[in-house]
Structure 1
């Protein structure tokens, strides 16, 4: 009996864009791959749901949304007589689908604790190369575009620039799921205004106000959502939980953990020793491994690990103070002394509960400008083309300092 062929031309229903069509069977097979399915188990916004209870959407949602927007972009550009071949179209879908595939559990927390010296972009590239082997070289062009090695500059700009498809989706999506309306940008209008000039991605002048709103929305989302003080505290506590667990595991302490999490706790992982086996273990690691371990670690005999884990599980977090200037050394010392006394911990463990860092936000970077195309065919940086003075102000990085300590 002949094996029944799977229907690969599926339609997905997205709460933001409505129906999303999977363009062809290659894209379907990539989405079906276990590497990509893992993204269903990685939240897009880490611990933001401790502040915004609706923010439980995943990297899977986001990647599919990006692919949908890319379909719209290609339709718009072809309508404006920009030649994009079938191969380039497919490569753009693959590159944008896989741009975040290297994100670890809870997104950025892993990069600062148990996987060191290798960024999620580098891990994404390794996943893409591995998939390329499995799919018989069909991802070669997508990888070339992702690495910025393709001669057509705008192909890379659609994947990574200040007005890339990634940002157009995550701002709208994160705004929807958090309920923070300030981030709700008009991605349709921005895409309709896109064009290509001298092989660069540009925006027609009619879209200038949509770009202004997009830049301001990005700034507001950073301060209100991505760098929200509660989210900051939770993410940093998570980093410290994983650091402490790794410290204990390296000393031979017995810790409850899934096999994939155990692998990263027991082995020092850097860019140099990130082997095929490491990639395979990484592909099995997700938010569930980390959360189930933390729930168990609440009962661990190591006081530091237990206290930190309990803070996350019960949402009884550290206090945070944010200010423009750096904190005085004497003030930090005072907080550390207080932590030692209150939590009855060793002095050398105080840094797990009292820590200070800086955060910065630059809504617009002049180094890779958003170019506005006027009716005469001339190009101008949005910061110069806009009559809004605050666009110029958005180019200045805003730096703030924070300190966390027990309540």
Structure 2
């Protein structure tokens, strides 16, 4: 009989950071859990790979990267004599590792179509509480920090703020995999400049330019990558496919789907009835289920469903126009009429192919400031501390409107 225990302090190789050490056996067991392994089957950037072919990295990848950066941040703060206990340290690693565990297939598309009224943050919390039961309450502190309820504010800010570990990883990672160099921030430098003053997570004055670059990189990545017009069209078409499938399911139409996707199509899921069974079904749903269903639906007798599905699979997407002001109702209605005539659809069906929405890009929110710590120990909001006039401009949300319609 083999009594040799498995080595749980393994090392993983990451293309960006090199070797990543798993810090504890508990964290190894959480990573091994099916809930966490599901993240290997959820892409980080949804349909962005239709624009940037390299963008196929997963949420699993990103979560592991975040854990690595958190280890660096803890080391830096320890070095600067900031007291962080062993329990707090482990709680930070667990909280950042699980911060995205509630993301559904294709990230945000599911939230806006078949699982409505509950956000991925709330689902993440449900997963964490379920894992906490399985691991005998060892996630208590991690959950408290994740919810922002822990009295030491700076620990919560490492998980969620305008300069949190999550952003430091995804900007660098998404920039690497898309090849969009504008997003390549110096996460090492930013972490090395971190400090704590009056329980606030702050950046030392000599890191000010790294913060400026971080904010500008974030703005550019939003316009160039996250809000790229082709990505917007693809994601909204996916939302519409799922909405149409849900509509048909509600009417009792038979649709091809595996058991977990079927569960969400044929049941009304909201915050109120998101119970343990629903969580279990959600934990089995990933990008592959949605994609295989869409491939099958491209042959469905419902014209709206089959046409939209085929367009996504073949990457024959709708046309998109983006502008500063809202689109005129008359123009929209005219397009809807044309599409309904050309495709022999009702006007309500034509709205799956003609729709308008708005996008917002705000690189910096002054209500949750990033503080710069000067040599005298004073704290200043980065927007005021910087001599870069653009930063003040970055606090204003930029709103644009877009319309999609068939070519």
Report whether the alignment pairs 1:155 with 2:128: no
Structure 1 counterpart of 2:164: 164
- Mapping 1:67-86, distance limit 5 Å: 67-86=67-86
Whole-angstrom CA distance in 2 between matches of 1:361 and 1:279: 32
- Mapping 1:248-287, distance limit 5 Å: 248-287=248-287
Whole-angstrom CA distance in 2 between matches of 1:149 and 1:327: 43
Whole-angstrom CA distance in 1 between matches of 2:241 and 2:68: 37
Report whether the alignment pairs 1:180 with 2:183: no
Whole-angstrom CA distance in 1 between matches of 2:4 and 2:336: 66
Q: What is the count of residue pairs matched by the alignment?
A: 407
SS in 2 for 1:272: coil
Q: Unpaired segments of 5 or more residues in structure 1?
A: none
SS in 1 for 2:23: coil
Structure 2 counterpart of 1:302: 302
TM-score (norm 1): 0.99
Whole-angstrom CA distance in 1 between matches of 2:188 and 2:24: 23
Give per-residue Cα distances to partners, 1:315-361, cap 9 Å, x unaligned.
00000000000000110011111211222222220110000010000
Whole-angstrom CA distance in 1 between matches of 2:190 and 2:272: 41
Report whether the alignment pairs 1:365 with 2:365: yes
Whole-angstrom CA distance in 2 between matches of 1:197 and 1:105: 39
- Mapping 1:82-97, distance limit 5 Å: 82-97=82-97
Give per-residue Cα distances to partners, 1:94-115, cap 9 Å, x unaligned.
0000000000000000000000
SS in 2 for 1:360: strand
Tell me by how many angstroms 1:3 deviates: 3.2
SS in 2 for 1:115: coil
| RMSD between superposed Cα atoms in Å | 0.6
Whole-angstrom CA distance in 2 between matches of 1:192 and 1:369: 19
TM-score (norm 2): 0.99
Structure 1 counterpart of 2:339: 339
SS in 1 for 2:151: coil
Report whether the alignment pairs 1:52 with 2:52: yes
Whole-angstrom CA distance in 2 between matches of 1:103 and 1:2: 38
Q: Unpaired segments of 5 or more residues in structure 2?
A: none
Structure 1 counterpart of 2:326: 326
Whole-angstrom CA distance in 1 between matches of 2:305 and 2:323: 29
Tell me by how many angstroms 1:48 deviates: 0.1
Of 96-105 and 343-352, deviating more is 343-352
Give per-residue Cα distances to partners, 1:44-100, cap 9 Å, x unaligned.
000000000000000000000000000000000000000000000000000000000
Report whether the alignment pairs 1:120 with 2:120: yes
Report whether the alignment pairs 1:289 with 2:289: yes
